Amino acid sequence: MFFQNENCCKKVTIYGYAYKGDFINNIEVEKMQNDFSMQVYPNPVESNCNLKISNTEPGDYVCKLYDLQGKLYLQKEISSPHQNILFNLNLENIPQGVYILNLSNSKSTVYQKIIKL
């Protein structure tokens, strides 16, 4: 995601690393610490897959599935009083292709590529 911070510089987070700077002369890289991790299996998926969230504290999550053009195909809100969550995603009515699963809470966001057969 790109945004402008208080110094009018841009920031992007990709695969757990934050890149900050003007992207012409100056770039800083820092490793981001996520409050949780996610596993999706099986992947590739035919109709249903499991989403396992391992986190340090219970909480609320938003799960979104996008195609590579940015079209939103699925959005689920997940709340759990437990530290580990196992959630089933039904992708039966979604066309074959490559998708990005975005899972976020109030502090962090993680991404996972999903292949739908």
For the stretch 51-73, pLDDT in tens is: 988 876 677 889 999 999 999 99
**Do 17 and 49 share a domain, yes or no?**
no
Residue 105 has what pLDDT?
Answer: 83
Pick 80 or 55 by higher pLDDT: 80
Residue 6 has pLDDT above 60, yes or no: no
Indicate yes or no: pTM above 0.75: no
**Do 69 and 86 share a domain, yes or no?**
yes
**Do 46 and 84 share a domain, yes or no?**
yes
Count how many domains the chain has: 2
- Owning domain of residue 80: 36-116
**Do 102 and 62 share a domain, yes or no?**
yes
**Do 112 and 97 share a domain, yes or no?**
yes
Contact status, residue 114 vs residue 94, Cβ threshold 8 Å: no
Residue 101 has pLDDT above 50, yes or no: yes
Residue 2 has what pLDDT?
Answer: 39
**Do 15 and 50 share a domain, yes or no?**
no
Q: Per 3-state DSSP, what percentage of the chain is helix, strand, and coil (rounded to 5)?
A: 0, 60, 40
**Do 70 and 48 share a domain, yes or no?**
yes
Residue 25 has pLDDT above 90, yes or no: no
**Do 52 and 27 share a domain, yes or no?**
no
